[in-house]
Amino acid sequence: MARSRACYEYTEAEDKSMRLGFLLIAAGLLSLLGLGCCWLRPALQERGGGGSANCTVLAVRQLGERFACTFSCGAACRGTARYPCLQVLVRTSRSSVPALLHEDERQLRTNPKCSYIPPCARDDQENSENVTYKQKYWKEKVGSQPFTCYFNQHLRPDDVMLKRTHDETVLLHCFLWPLVTFLVGVLIVVLTICAKSLAVRAEAIKKKKH
């Protein structure tokens, strides 16, 4: 019995391989649980009840209200600037009620009153110029041309998005890489156990012959 147990004891290299496999399995499971609870489930909830539609611009306007944004000019340099609020009202092919257009879900959560948040610059005038440029873009370049927009009637029935933050590719990678990590860990553990088992059998057969 002592000899049999000694045969099944793993070498230092095999022990490290087993530890690596179990570490990858644990990392894959924790990543799946973490991403599922913190990111994947909210993303699916945002997509649930939503879809795409054709949008047409009805009005483009700047409100008198200005909003604050935070700019960074170095490691220890931060400040607050302001930008005007641009609203782009559109009509969708799903509804006759005008809707407010947003860049994506992130911009909608940051400032639900406006359609565009410029890159925050220290100079308020530069922020105003960026917003004015975007206003001209929607008025002159897009105009009455239809474009694809996205909506979610359950969460934000009066708003539409120009693009989705959580598209199919991001969701696929969110699920794929933790799963690959888990499977690689399982494969390392299984191969290590199989290699050890074959080595033990080979040693037993060799002893029988002698």
User: Per-residue confidence of the chain (210 residues) as pLDDT tens digits?
Assistant: 444 444 557 788 888 888 998 999 998 888 877 766 655 555 555 554 567 788 999 999 998 889 999 888 776 778 899 999 999 999 988 777 889 999 988 888 889 999 999 999 889 999 999 999 999 999 988 888 899 888 776 657 788 888 876 555 566 667 778 888 889 999 999 998 888 888 888 877 777 776
Question: Is residue 25 one of the residues assigned to a domain?
Answer: yes
**Per-residue tokens: 161:** 């998005």
In this structure, is residue 9 part of a structural domain?
Answer: no
What pLDDT shows up at residue 2?
42
Q: Are residues 83 and 157 in the same domain?
A: yes
Same domain, 94 and 40: no
Please report whether residue 1 resides in a domain: no
Q: Are residues 139 and 96 in the same domain?
A: yes
pLDDT of residue 133: 94
* 187 located within any domain: yes
Based on the domain organization, do 176 and 160 belong to the same domain? no
Specify whether 160 is located in the same domain as 80: yes
Is residue 31 domain-resident?
yes
Is residue 56 a contact partner of residue 107, using CB atoms and an 8 Å limit?
Answer: no
Same-domain status, 55 and 99:
yes
Question: Do 106 and 138 belong together in one domain?
Answer: yes
Is there a single domain that holds both residue 106 and residue 60?
A: yes
- Residue 181 inside a domain? The answer is yes
Query: Strand 95-102 and strand 147-152: pairing?
Result: unpaired
Q: Is residue 97 part of a domain?
A: yes
Compute the distance between CA of residue 14 and CA of residue 10 in angstroms, rounded to an integer: 6
Residues 74 and 114 in one domain: yes
DSSP for residue 116: B
Q: Residue 180 sits in which domain range?
A: 14-46+170-205
The total number of structural domains in the chain stands at 2
CA distance 141 to 93: 21
